[in-house]
Amino acid sequence: MSSINKVAFIGLGAMGYPMAGHLKRSGLDVCVYNRTETKAFAWVDEYAGLSAPTPAEAAVDAQIVFLCVGNDSDVRSVTVEAEGVLSTMTAGTLLVDHTTTSKALAEELHEACDELGISFIDAPVSGGQAGAENGVLTVMAGGKESAFEVMEPVIAAYAKHTQRMGDFGSGQVTKMVNQLCIAGILGGLSEAFHFAECAGLDIDEVTLAIQGGAAQSWQMNNRAGTIAQRHYDFGFAIDWMRKDLGFALDVAEQMDLHLPIAKMVDDHYTDVQRNGGGRWDTSGLIEQIRMRREKVLAAKSAERVTHSGGCHCGSVRWTVEAPSVLATHTCNCSICDINHYQHLLVPESRFELTKGEEALSLYTFGSHEAKHYFCKHCGVKSFYVPRSNPDGVSVNARCLSMDTVEVIYDKPFDGKNWEKNAGSLAHLSKER
């Protein structure tokens, strides 16, 4: 293997426990540390290794120290803080961090190690708990080539593929790319399977039909069955995925990049967390999509409440009767797009102008059928009579007082092709 014979492993979670076990079974002397000592004792019993009461003691005489803990603060607590591994590691040794962290932390650890003559590699992994247990993880590494050459033959005990991506932090950035890909796949898969459900198809049968073609993915092959069963109490937790996506979104912002798909998926995961699903596998994303449809359907039959709204300066005020769960449309026509108008369409009978008729200014254009009402004082168009629904009123949902609104579900409307699409809105101004 190499001249490496003694290592330490810090963190015995779902990933670290089997990874440390593979190192021991490869013939190395392994000393472990885990915050919960009972987990460390269980590992010692299973693998006949050693454990230590602190990270510092575990790292004594270790040629390589491996980390696989939770987040940035956890990494700092076992490295640079009191009783961290850097207090006992010596010059010429190697610190390998398998934790998925921020790029900034990887650079910070490199600097701390460099001052002590210690080599450092950021080496996040992919493959999940199953990959760790089976010893087939993928490792993305950032650091010096010389340190990578020392690490690579050692981690072959649990890694089927290891690749150096560049300098310090590049391993973490590569892991961000990995998580962005997974998020996009899960977003598409969740929507597709929910579409299948609503169309009356069986998810298992759909998977059998399409998994041999271009739609195939690891997520489809391994998660379709559990999604159909609504089983999520396993695997890579949504809490962890949100942490990872947060790192990617932060780096993207630093590079002036917009990642709309990742942001959308992250927002969906936030909703799942709020509903108690933070420890679910990431495939639990589909539950947010299911929940959204259920709420929209419920809104159609829900009792209406009285919402209030108006212009910016308060000169124009109105009320509108609608459910507390609102279904709105954002139009891309020339005037709606420039005003960022979010349509809540109701029958005329459910709208009442309560203040400011004298403050309104009427604007029409094109066919002059739509009646756009603006406040003369602040210029805000808070409601109007649309051409698509002359028997109704559209209020701008962004002008509502939100205290009566539970949630808003918005859909795009292609107003640039108005003649083709206007009919899809006709029912919204009809009494039901």
**Which residues are catalytic, by number?**
175
Q: Which helix (H) or strand (E) holds 349?
A: none
Residue 309 and residue 382 in contact, taking contact as beta carbons nearer than 8 Å: yes
**b or e along 366-384 (b: 16 or more beta carbons within 10 Å of the residue's beta carbon)?**
eeeebbbbbbeeeebbbbb
Structure tokens at 327: 């279904």
CA distances from 162 to 144, 171, 186, 421 (A): 14, 11, 25, 52
- Picking from 259, 108, 239, 115, the residue whose alpha carbon sits closest to that of residue 172 is 108
- Picking from 305, 351, 327, the residue whose alpha carbon sits closest to that of residue 424 is 327
Q: Which helix (H) or strand (E) holds 351?
A: strand 351-355
Between CA 422 and CA 370 the distance in angstroms is: 13
Residue 286 and residue 294 in contact, taking contact as beta carbons nearer than 8 Å: no
CA dihedral (141, 55, 19, 75) positive or negative:
negative
Structure tokens at 40: 């460390």
Single-letter residue type at 179: Q
Task: Identify the three-state secondary structure at position 83.
Answer: coil
CA distances from 203 to 232, 284, 289 (A): 16, 15, 15
Structure tokens at 54: 């602190």
How crowded is residue 196: how many other Cβ atoms within 10 Å of its Cβ?
17
Structure tokens at 145: 């080539």
Between CA 321 and CA 413 the distance in angstroms is: 22
Between CA 163 and CA 69 the distance in angstroms is: 21
